[in-house]
Amino acid sequence: MAHLHVRTNDNTKKKAMEILESLGLDLSTAINLYLEKIIISEGIPFSICRHPICSDQIKVPDHIMEQWAKEEEEALKEGKIYNSADDLFDSK
C-alpha cells in the first residue's frame, strides 16, 4: 500500500472531513475514490476552467426540470414513440 503526503489548508481539511463523515467516509477512502475516478475518466473528473461558469456547474432551473418531467409523463401516458431525436424535436 502506497502512502501519500498532501499539504492543504487546515480549514479546507476540516470542512472536507465534516462533509465526508456525514457521508460515512473517511478522508483516505475519499481520496482513493478520487484517484479511481481519475483512472476511470482518464483525466480530472471535473471541469477546470478560468470562466466562472464551467459546463459541469450549469444548473437547469427547477421550473424547467419540472416542465420537462411533466412533458415526459404526458408522453408516456399518451404512448408517444419517436424514432429519432429529430422526430422528437420536430414535434415540439
What total of structural domains would you count in the chain? Answer: 2
For 44-48, which contacts have Cβ atoms below 8 Å and span 24 or more sequence positions?
Answer: none
Q: What pLDDT sits at residue 11?
A: 95
Whether 43 and 66 share a structural domain: no
Whether 12 and 39 share a structural domain: yes
Q: What pLDDT sits at residue 12?
A: 95
Whether 38 and 17 share a structural domain: yes
Domain span including residue 12: 1-49
4 Cβ neighbours under 8 A, 6+ residues apart: 31
The answer to whether position 63 is within a domain reads: yes
Provide the CATH number for the domain around residue 15: 1.10.1220
CA angle in degrees (0–180, nearest 5) for 52-54-56: 140
Q: What is the pLDDT of residues 28-77, one digit of tens each?
A: 999 999 999 999 989 988 877 766 666 666 677 788 888 888 888 887 78
**pLDDT top residue among 41 and 79:** 41
Whether 66 and 28 share a structural domain: no
The DSSP secondary structure of 21-90, one letter per residue, reads: HHTT--HHHHHHHHHHHHHHHTS-SS---SSSS-GGG----HHHHHHHHHHHHHHHHHT---SSHHHHHH
Contact 31, 4 (CB under 8 A): yes
The answer to whether position 54 is within a domain reads: no
Whether 28 and 5 share a structural domain: yes
Whether 44 and 63 share a structural domain: no
Whether 71 and 36 share a structural domain: no
